[in-house]
């Protein structure tokens, strides 16, 4: 009769405990045992105390042809007890794996679980890569749009500031020109125009810088020309004022002469009246002929 080395479960619920026994192959799980060889306590935390095994009696039963179960075979191999059944099992499993691999099938549950995990990991990797790419593309597009909007806003602000400054300078120049008196010299007008033009228009960069003496000579010539021009304009303005002045003076002189004549007439009227009163009295006197004249007339 064949002998087997297998485990018998004892202990209460949720507290498993196994005994390793040598039993007949036809004996049920909880049937009569031939010999107790050790025990296995899976709840024990110390690995050295989990399995307790009688090595001599186990090797004896193996030499007599006892066949261990799969779990007992793994426990024996863990404790360094080699037997022919483990080697035969390894050969059979390798052959079965080769056949399954040739057919493209998985050999056992562990391989199926491993293959499933590999597929899931590959799918998860692809998914994460796709999400990362989409996220990166969205962030890039968002950054580009933000940069464009920011650039447009800055450009608009700069243009508005330039336009505002231009309007302010023009208004300021206009107000200054209106506030200045009419008697402002031509030189000041020329300087104000040049200042407004320099503020309104951007300064042009010269392609090549001239030498200092030449630049100084040009500046002197320009200032001299501006002074001469201003002088000519002032002279012309003064001449125009002088030409316009006589007319007003003549009108005033006429009015003054008229008033003087009227005053003279008014002053001369009483004198004239007095003379007129005296003259008729002198004219009314008649010359009486003298006696001599009468005698001469009689002789004649």
The answer to whether residue 197 scores a pLDDT higher than 70 is no
pLDDT, tens digit, 9 for 90 and up, residues 257-276: 666 666 666 666 666 666 66
- Tell me the CATH architecture of domain 3-101: 2-Layer Sandwich (3.30)
The helix/strand/coil state of 10 is: strand
DSSP state of 69: -
Average pLDDT over the chain, rounded to an integer: 78
**Helix (H) / strand (E) containing 37:** strand 35-40
pLDDT tens profile 8-21: 888 888 899 999 99
pTM of this prediction?
Answer: 0.36
Which token pair is 86? 């483990």
Which helix H or strand E contains 53, and what residues bound it?
Answer: strand 51-53
Nearest residue to 3 (alpha-carbon basis) of 19, 20, 27: 27
Instruction: Report, as an integer, the average pLDDT of 158-165.
Output: 90
The mean pLDDT value for 22-45 works out to 89
What pLDDT score was predicted for residue 125?
92
CB under 8 Å to 70, separation ≥6 — which residues? 89
Cα separation, 276 vs 272, in Å, equals 6
Q: What is the pLDDT of residue 120?
A: 92
Q: What is the pLDDT of residue 188?
A: 65
Decide which of 195 and 55 is more confident: 55
The answer to whether the CB of 217 falls within 8 A of the CB of 266 is no
- The confidence score (pLDDT) of residue 221 equals 85
Higher pLDDT, 289 or 163: 163
Contact 5, 20 (CB under 8 A): yes
Ranges 57-66, 95-104, 212-221, 275-284: which has the least confidence = 275-284
Positive or negative CA dihedral for 263, 267, 270, 276? Answer: negative
pLDDT at residue 262, as a whole number: 64
Is the pLDDT at 189 greater than 90, yes or no?
no
In this predicted structure, the answer to whether residue 177 has a pLDDT above a threshold of 70 is yes
Predicted pLDDT at 289: 47
Q: What is the mean pLDDT of residues 115-141?
A: 91
Give the DSSP letter string of 207-261: SSPPPHHHHHHHHHHHHHHHHHHHHHHHHHHHHHHHHHHHHHHHHHHHHHHHHHH
The CA-atom distances, in angstroms, between 283 and each of 25, 92, 289 are 203, 190, 17
What are the tokens at 118? 């590999």
| Element of type H or E holding 135 | helix 109-179
> Percentage of residues in the chain with pLDDT exceeding 70?
69
Handedness of CA 39, 40, 45, 46 (dihedral sign): positive
The two three-digit tokens of residue 74, written as one number? 């793994």
CB atoms closer than 10 angstroms to residue 5: 25
- Whole-number pLDDT of residue 208: 47
CA gap 2, 128 in Å, rounded: 58
Q: Which residue has the higher pLDDT, 264 or 87?
A: 87
Whether the predicted pLDDT of 29 surpasses 70: yes
Ordered by start, the domain boundaries in the chain are: 3-101
By CB atoms closer than 10 A (0-12, 13-18, 19+), residue 190 is middle
């Amino acid at each position: 009769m064949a002998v087997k080395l297998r485990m018998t479960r004892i202990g209460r619920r949720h507290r498993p405990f196994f005994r390793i026994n040598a039993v007949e192959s036809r004996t049920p799980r909880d049937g009569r045992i031939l010999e107790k060889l050790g025990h296995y306590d899976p709840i024990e935390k110390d690995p050295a105390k989990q399995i307790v095994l009688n090595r001599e009696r186990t090797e004896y039963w193996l030499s007599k042809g006892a066949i261990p179960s799969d779990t007992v075979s793994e426990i024996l191999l863990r404790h360094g007890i080699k037997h022919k059944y483990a080697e035969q099992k390894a050969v059979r499993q390798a052959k079965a794996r080769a056949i399954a691999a040739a057919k493209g099938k998985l050999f056992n549950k562990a391989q199926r679980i491993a293959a499933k995990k590999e597929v899931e990991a590959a799918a998860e990797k692809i998914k994460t890569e796709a999400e990362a790419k989409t996220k990166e593309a969205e962030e890039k597009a968002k950054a580009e749009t933000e940069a464009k909007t920011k650039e447009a806003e800055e450009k608009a602000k700069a243009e508005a500031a330039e336009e505002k400054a231009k309007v302010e300078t023009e208004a300021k120049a206009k107000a200054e020109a209106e506030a200045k008196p009419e008697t402002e010299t031509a030189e000041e007008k020329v300087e104000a125009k040049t200042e407004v033009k320099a503020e309104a228009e951007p300064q042009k960069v010269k392609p090549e810088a001239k030498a200092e003496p030449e630049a100084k000579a040009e500046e002197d010539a320009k200032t001299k020309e501006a002074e001469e021009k201003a002088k000519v304009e002032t002279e012309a303005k003064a001449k125009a004022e002088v030409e316009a002045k006589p007319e007003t003076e003549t009108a005033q002189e006429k009015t003054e002469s008229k008033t003087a004549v009227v005053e003279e007439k008014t002053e001369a009227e009483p004198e004239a009246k007095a003379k007129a009163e005296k003259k008729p009295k002198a004219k009314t006197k008649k010359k009486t002929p003298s006696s001599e004249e009468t005698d001469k007339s009689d002789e004649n």
